[in-house]
Amino acid sequence: MIKRNNIMKIAIDSPAAAGAGTVAKALAKHYKLLKVDTGKAYRLIAFYKLQEPKKFNFKFIKNKIKNLKIGDLNKKALLSDKVGTEASIIAKNKNIRKLVHSFQVNCAYNPPKKYKGSILDGRDITYNIVPDADFKFFITANVKTRALRRYKELKETNNKLTYKEVLKSIKNRDKNDYNRKISPLKKTKDSMLINTTKLSKRACFLKIKKIIDRKINI
């Protein structure tokens, strides 16, 4: 694997709807980094499974991952609660994780030259995908706050959805993410904890930016 030298690498782990994706997007824009929501890769696979169940097998997945482009991860359909639940199950599959792992690592260490580095957020980024990241963060928030955020997000496209349904789904996602045997969600000792329960999007961005700027002496 080709690795670019002298690039900034930021790794973020977080449970669902903690705000990691939002702040990662803001940081990517500010520091000119390639932003990759690694969980979206599993969501994309889950989306394909739900859309084409008869074609869904390992060969089918391998081909999809081989031709995967960052832009493919921006489909709005990937945000649905149903896709998220299926993605959490798929992420337990050892063989699928190996395929996605290669894609994630390549994005982290060899981003296109127009970027000054990479920022990845997911569940096992700080210790499995980019263990030597320049900056590591574990972003979280209490489960009710996270469920409310996701509910407001999904309510725009699904008027029948209830907060209780989303809360139940988030709790199930947490159970799967924290307890799976392969690459479970966890905070590493060298990751800085950022609790966004009472933080606005802007406040979260500024808090992390301050930490980064202090180290790179801006």
**Residues contacting 133, CB < 8 A, separation 6+:** 9, 10, 11, 108, 125, 126
CA distances from 211 to 13, 27, 175 (A): 17, 12, 30
How many Cβ atoms are within 10 Å of 174's Cβ, its own excluded?
Answer: 16
Bridge-based pairing of strands 8-13 and 117-122 is parallel
Put simply, whether the predicted model's pTM sits higher than 0.85 gets the answer yes
CA distances from 10 to 33, 126, 199 (A): 9, 9, 20
* Contact (CB, 8 A) for 119 and 25: no
Report the distance separating Cα 115 and Cα 98, nearest Å: 25
pLDDT given for residue 1 in this prediction = 62
**Residues contacting 110, CB < 8 A, separation 6+:** 1, 2, 3, 4
Burial class (CB in 10 A: 0-12, 13-18, 19+), 186: middle
Half-sphere exposure of 39 (CA within 13 A, CB side): 25
pLDDT given for residue 218 in this prediction = 57
Q: Which domains, from first to last, does the chain contain?
A: 14-208 (3.40.50.300)
Q: What backbone torsions phi and psi does residue 135 show, to the nearest 5 degrees?
A: -140, 135
Provide block-wise average pLDDT over 10 residues at a time, the chain (218 residues). Answer: 86 97 97 93 95 93 90 88 89 90 94 96 96 98 97 89 95 93 95 98 98 88
What is the DSSP annotation of 150-178? HHHHHHTT-TT--HHHHHHHHHHHHHHHH
Report the distance separating Cα 144 and Cα 68, nearest Å: 34
